[in-house]
Amino acid sequence: MSDSNRAKLVGRRGELIAELFLQDLKPEFVAQTTGDFGYDFLVGFPNSKGGINNIPVAVRATERLAQNRIPLPRRVYERFAYSNIPVLLLVVDVKENRIFYSWISPVDAGGSREPETVMIRLTEIDDSTKEELRRQMAA
């Protein structure tokens, strides 16, 4: 199997795991994007005022996650960090079926040493962080 085919399969597996995870959060909807917006999903959660909180979700898949951090190209980071709505980054370790997340914000860039890359700190999702994440999305 070629490296590009393997990368596509890893990416697709990560998207499927992320989509199942998002469905488990019981949103109003999960929509997969069809264009190159930088986001993979748009998720809607009902809020306490009767509206819908729309949240773009970007998914990255990996077979090896080092130290609960992932690099993002600076242009991708800036697109997410300076959007008018918060962007949720889900990182899926497809070998261990583990999911990590981060809300992308301008403060994430503080520890970057390379001008072209921003290291994003991630939080592993377990039962308690899953519920906290759902509350954040519906707030």
Residues 3-138, CATH architecture: 3-Layer(aba) Sandwich (3.40)
Q: Give the start-to-end residue ranges of the domains of the chain.
A: 3-138
Check residue 34 and give its pLDDT.
82
- pLDDT (tens digit, 9 = 90+) per residue, 87-131? 999 999 999 999 999 999 886 555 555 578 999 999 999 999 999
The separation between the first and the last C-alpha atoms of the chain, rounded to the nearest angstrom, is 45
Check residue 67 and give its pLDDT.
86
**Nearest C-alpha neighbor of 18 from the set 132, 136, 139, 130:** 130
Query: What is the widest separation between alpha-carbon atoms in the chain?
Result: 51
Mean per-residue pLDDT of the chain: 90
Task: Name 93's Cβ contacts closer than 8 Å, sequence gap at least 6.
Answer: 62, 63, 64, 65, 99, 100
**Residue 36, token pair as written in the block:** 């190159």
Check residue 114 and give its pLDDT.
59
Instruction: State how far the Cα of 80 lies from the Cα of 108, in Å rounded to an integer.
Output: 11
Give the mean pLDDT of 77-83.
Answer: 92
Check residue 139 and give its pLDDT.
87
Could you tell me which residues are beta bridge partners of residue 54? Answer: 44
Instruction: State how far the Cα of 32 lies from the Cα of 20, in Å rounded to an integer.
Output: 12
pLDDT tops 90 at residue 18: yes
Give the mean pLDDT of 82-87.
Answer: 91
Check residue 33 and give its pLDDT.
87
Check residue 113 and give its pLDDT.
55
- pLDDT (tens digit, 9 = 90+) per residue, 21-55? 999 999 999 999 887 778 999 999 999 999 999 99
Query: pLDDT grade, residue 2 (50/70/90)?
Result: confident
